[in-house]
Structure 1
Amino acid sequence: MELREFLFAPLAGHTLTFAITARERGIFSGAARLKQLAGELGLEVTWSAPEGYALEPGSCLFRGRGEATAIIRAEEMLLGVVGKPSGVATAAAGFVRQAGERIKVVCGAWKKVAPEIRGELRQAIATGGAGIRITERPFIYLDKNYVRLLGGVEPAVDRARAYDPERVIVVQIRGEGRPIAAEAEAAVKAGAGIIMVDTGHLKDLANVVTAAQQGGWREKVKLAFAGGVTPAGLEEVIDAGADIVDVGRAIIDAPLLDLSLDVEGISL
């Protein structure tokens, strides 16, 4: 007999109730997966908070019923299913709250995580209020490797526009081969609608903003910035003149939200 079966044999046939509660403030994410996994464990869901539920220390986000062995397994599995997404949603919400209406916060880092959790973290980012796409309009994203393979920003943008001239062309620039401000201007003149300054250096963003203002093309383009942005550095990005900030690790690598599963009672 397996250890747990032996330990909980006296409780065979008894139904226990339990609750999952938050131990810190945050945003709940992972509601659908939580209910699905609870069902797979043979647990009855008696109440579950909706996606995006605001949590305070002590807030209940889930209640269920089941046998002792199933509840012990639930403690090992359910907390992890919602802890990470809730941590990501909480981090995203913090950036969105800090930014207000001054800058659009997005997080595209969900594309870089393992496929098994990609959908859950993408949902968590959206639950926190951050964008999962750099623009809501149909677009073509030309990252650094596209630009390199196609011979530079001008031929890359030309090729993308030839495919669909109605889509917004987004170009990731890093100042390779020429000053970054010149690279940005070339991309805009070729037809790019969003320039992603993906160097992590505010000086590069400032140079592009200055060139855009002096060159008369600032109103024709949205300027995005990415690279190691933290809550402490967000104000500097806003002050430098970006329209969009793509936050990566500070959101996607957020710690698990601290949660607890506790047995509440036994039904004989």
Structure 2
Amino acid sequence: MPSKALPPGLPQLLVEDAVRAALLEDLGRAGDITTAATIPPQASANVVLSTREAGVAAGIGFAETAFRQMDPAIVFSAKVADGARVEAGDVLAEIAGNARAILSAERVGLNFLMHMSGIATHTARFAAEIAHTHAKVCCTRKTIPGHRAFEKYAVRCGGGSNHRFGLDDAVLIKDNHIAVCGGVAPAIARARAYVGHLVKVEVEVDTLDQMREALAAGPDAILLDNMTNDELREAVAINTAESHGRVTLEASGNVSLDTVRAIAETGVDYISTSKITMAAATLDVGLDVRVG
């Protein structure tokens, strides 16, 4: 029986640094002057974070970190875990403590939570469309600068997979590399000679002829860019016949919720799209004060 995948996680130091930077940006030079002017220093509050619509939660730890950085004495009680499916009106967390600290951390906590939950929710829609196949949807490097690790974490919370995190953790030979290098085969050969044995080598191809040239050169993965579904099916057949399916096939280009099912049904292993990060709307989450 295969092992169950561990839940996604992030180093807490990354979370702490990102949240601290966001709080400093929001507090500016004088702090929260609205709250300081209207709320007594010792006032306390009990609040809830709740959803206004259905989706997938992600970023609960970011919200908790925002409130605790404003005041370590704040009690933050999470009611769901990242990756949980939620309905409109569900309580994500209950928060109690100093009212000034809670109100000053509200926007930063919600910004992370809404943005990351939106990505997880949109990813889950894509994953549901292809759940009957063996294909997985994966993200790209098209992310908000400085937030890539968090957005890729949210993709995993939504049931997607991660592509490379940067230019340094895998080789992806694209069309411009091939053009400058003089061909698919020499580009793959140079990459193999350059990187260590633990670094994967993927090459992007636009035609089936290029794919055959790539297969002969022995990459770990081939990205089939902007191919028709008929071409994708033929590519899967070629891969099975010539490499016994040992090379991972990834489809990319023209991927949407309307097209992803048919792409997955061609038999490819992965479908990469920037839509799950760049086109994801935020999930509507609010903070409400409990009165009485």
Same fold by TM-score greater than 0.5: yes
Higher alpha-carbon deviation: 243-252 or 119-128: 243-252
So what's the TM-score if we normalise by structure 1? 0.82
CA distance in 2, matches of 1:81, 1:159: 41
Q: Please tell me whether the aligned partners of residues 177 and 187 of structure 2 are also in contact (alpha carbons under 8 angstroms).
A: yes
Across the aligned residues of Structure 1 and Structure 2, the Cα RMSD in angstroms comes to 2.7
| CA contact 2:139–2:277 (8 Å) conserved in 1 | no
Q: What is the alpha-carbon distance in structure 2 between the residues aligned to residue 79 and residue 41 of structure 1?
A: 14
* 1:154-193 equivalence runs, <5 A: 154-163=185-194, 164=196, 168-174=200-206, 180-193=207-220
How has the CA–CA distance of structure 1 residues 264 and 224 changed in structure 2, closer, same or farther, with 3 Å as cutoff? same
Please list the CA deviations of residues 149-191 of structure 1 after superposition, one character each: whole Å capped at 9, or x if unmatched: 32221001111222446754311113xxxxx111010000111
* 1:218/1:139 CA distance change after superposition, 3 Å: farther
Q: After the TM superposition, which residues 76-91 of structure 1 pair with which residues of structure 2 at under 5 Å, given as runs? A: 76-91=107-122
Question: Aligned equivalents of 1:184 and 1:3: distance in 2?
Answer: 61
Structure 1 residues not aligned, in runs of 5+: 175-179
Q: Hey, which bits of structure 1, 4+ residues long, moved more than 4 A? A: 164-168, 209-213, 215-218
Pair 1:166–1:185, CA change in 2 (3 A): farther
Q: Who wins on radius of gyration, i.e. which is larger? A: 1
Q: How many residues are paired up?
A: 254
Residue 30 of structure 1 deviates from its aligned partner by: 1.1
Aligned partners of 2:144 and 2:242: how far apart in 1?
A: 43
CA contact (8 A) 1:35 1:45 kept: no
Aligned twin of 2:70: 41
Q: Using a 3 Å threshold, how does the CA distance of structure 1 residues 46 and 35 change in structure 2: closer, same or farther?
A: closer
Tell me which of the two structures has the higher relative contact order, counting C-alpha pairs closer than 8 angstroms and 6 or more residues apart: 1
Contact map agreement 1:89 1:126 (CA 8 A) in 2: yes
Task: List runs of 5+ in structure 2 lacking aligned partners.
Answer: 1-31
Equivalent residues of 1:17, 1:64 under 8 A apart: yes
- Alignment match, 2:149: 119
- The answer to whether the 8 A contact 2:123-2:160 is kept is yes
Q: Greater shift after overlay, 34-43 or 124-133?
A: 34-43
